[in-house]
Amino acid sequence: MVRFLKKMFIPAAAFFVALSLLFAGCGTKADGGYSYFVQLDLDRSALFVDGENLSLSEYRELMSELKTLVNGLEEDFSVEFPEGDIARINAAEAGEIVQVSGDTYAALSLAFFYEEEENGCFSPTLFPLTELWGFSPANEGSYGVSRGEPEEGKLAQAKSLCDPSFFVLGEDHTVVKSVAGAKLDFGGIAKGYMCDRISSYILQKYQGHTVDGMIGVMSNTVLLGKKIEDGASRNFNVAIENPRDLLSGGEKSSALFLVGLSDVSVTTSSDNYRFYVNDGKIYPHIIDAKTGKPADRGIISVTAVVPDSVPNAGAFADSLTTAVFCMPLTEAIGFLGEMSEKYGVGAVVITSDHKYYAVGDVCVMDRGEYAAFSNEFLGTDYDLEDFPDEEEVFVAGDVASASDTVVPCEKEKEYIAMIAARS
């Protein structure tokens, strides 16, 4: 997850700004209705139009409109809302024509495009495998329960249903699947797509005006323009959450920092959300389409930064982090290099030997480096002796020397043991 900074940065609790519009957990309620899971972060103090915050009434009006927008998208994109588009496609028989919304059709079209662009490492068709491995919403509350792997026969059967060619997009926003049991899941693109729609809505609403601010949907963020504070403007600096914060007492903390960002979409995927540990190994919810198993490439976190000049930058960033998670490290670095040249993508990949690899046009700093930067440019007064090199969370890896064989370090083994004990 990316967190936003003022002038403080460690621990995360010291600088994380609680943002305003929350949609609670999606699922069946006692009265037969449904609540919402998607969380939209858009604080009034962090949104500026022509250099000024919106009035309270204008802000409330905007948030009401955005709530309607996001709730509608979640209903269509979620596998849980039975009347939503994705749930209806998943429940349909082979050959049945399903009419969907323009947003669902657009998101599915993008998802299939990204599947090709990302060498098949991202796919919206993996829900049968997600269900098999126990990471579907039906298993909410027990994601972290330690368990073995599914039987090979069941794994092969579920994998056989995960083929994008089984879904055909027709005219007038229709979708037809050719194989019963094939199912879609927008988990690797939905929140990024929502960010795109929200930012487009805001920019259109205030067309002709300068809009600055930050929009967050879970671990996906859009940075519009500049950060405005105390009447001055500068680029955004953001922190990448430490995916191993349990090693520091469990308080959410920062691991690395991205400096000097503006007009970009930022997404982070990590293995500390929806996972379980079995026999000394982490099984994350991110499914590798090529193996049919939870990603196991030695990667524990991926952050992608995509310029907003790239169409659908949020959806693209969302899909990229999922895809890279499922690549061998050298392939991931090479692929991100290609995406940097083609689209201007920047990225940070963190591995289980607690190294990080920066690719593309991103300025990455560790905690000590950021402390020095903050003292020089943000007016802070941190004691740099509090950040010795040997206590950094992750250290820079040499891209040229990266290997597909990633050996977990002792700190990583300690983390896995802690999780196993808790399970």
pLDDT of residue 251: 67
Confidence band, pLDDT 50/70/90 cuts, at residue 422: confident
Cβ neighbours around 138 below 10 Å, total? 11
pLDDT of residue 34: 66
Surface-to-core class of residue 329, CB atoms within 10 Å of its CB (0-12 exposed, 13-18 middle, 19+ buried): buried
Lowest mean pLDDT, pick from 21-30, 103-112, 207-216, 273-282: 21-30
Compute and round to an integer the Cα radius of gyration of the chain.
Answer: 21
CA distance 53 to 280: 50
Distances (CA, A) of 399 to 105, 191, 302, 303, 334: 38, 30, 15, 16, 9
Q: Hey, is 417 helix, strand or coil?
A: helix
CA distance 362 to 258: 7
Cβ pair 188, 261 in contact under 8 A: no
pLDDT of residue 21: 36
- Is 152's pLDDT higher than 80? yes
Mean pLDDT of 407-419: 96
Q: Hey, is 288 helix, strand or coil?
A: strand
Closest CA to 396 of 200, 291, 226, 256: 256
Omega before 11 within 30 of 0, i.e. cis = yes
Q: How many helices (H) and strands (E) does the chain have?
A: 10, 25
- Is 24's pLDDT higher than 60? no
Q: Please give the distance of CA 63 from its chain centroid, rounded to a whole number.
A: 22
Look at the block and give the residue holding tokens 């429940």: 91
How many Cα atoms sit within 13 Å of 74 on the Cβ side?
24
pLDDT of residue 33: 57
| Assigned token pair, 181 | 């049991």
Of the options 3.40.50, 3.10.520, 1.20.58, 1.10.3470, the CATH number for the domain spanning 2-25+213-422: 3.10.520
pLDDT of residue 246: 85
DSSP-derived secondary structure letter, 137: G
| Assigned token pair, 244 | 């191993």
Cβ pair 255, 240 in contact under 8 A: yes
Q: Please give the distance of CA 20 from its chain centroid, rounded to a whole number.
A: 19
Q: Tens digits of per-residue pLDDT, 185-231?
A: 999 999 999 999 999 999 999 999 999 999 999 889 999 999 998 88
pLDDT over 70 percentage in the chain: 91
Q: Tens digits of per-residue pLDDT, 238-293?
A: 999 999 998 877 667 889 999 999 999 999 999 999 999 999 999 999 999 999 99
- Is 81's pLDDT higher than 70? yes
Lowest mean pLDDT, pick from 147-161, 172-186, 230-244: 230-244
How do 355-359 and 395-396 pair as beta strands? parallel
Could you tell me which residues come within 8 angstroms of residue 6 by beta carbon, excluding any fewer than 6 positions away? 15, 17, 229
- Is 30's pLDDT higher than 50? no
| Assigned token pair, 377 | 């440019």
Total count of residues recorded for the chain: 423
Cβ pair 359, 346 in contact under 8 A: yes
* Averaged pLDDT of the chain: 91
Element containing residue 189 per DSSP (H, E): none
Mean pLDDT of 4-17: 34
Q: Hey, is 236 helix, strand or coil?
A: strand
Mean pLDDT of 11-15: 31
Mark 229-251 as b/e (b = at least 16 C-beta within 10 Å).
eeeeeeebbbbbbbbbbeeeeee
Q: Hey, is 271 helix, strand or coil?
A: coil
CA distance 239 to 366: 10
| Assigned token pair, 363 | 């300025």
pLDDT of residue 423: 73
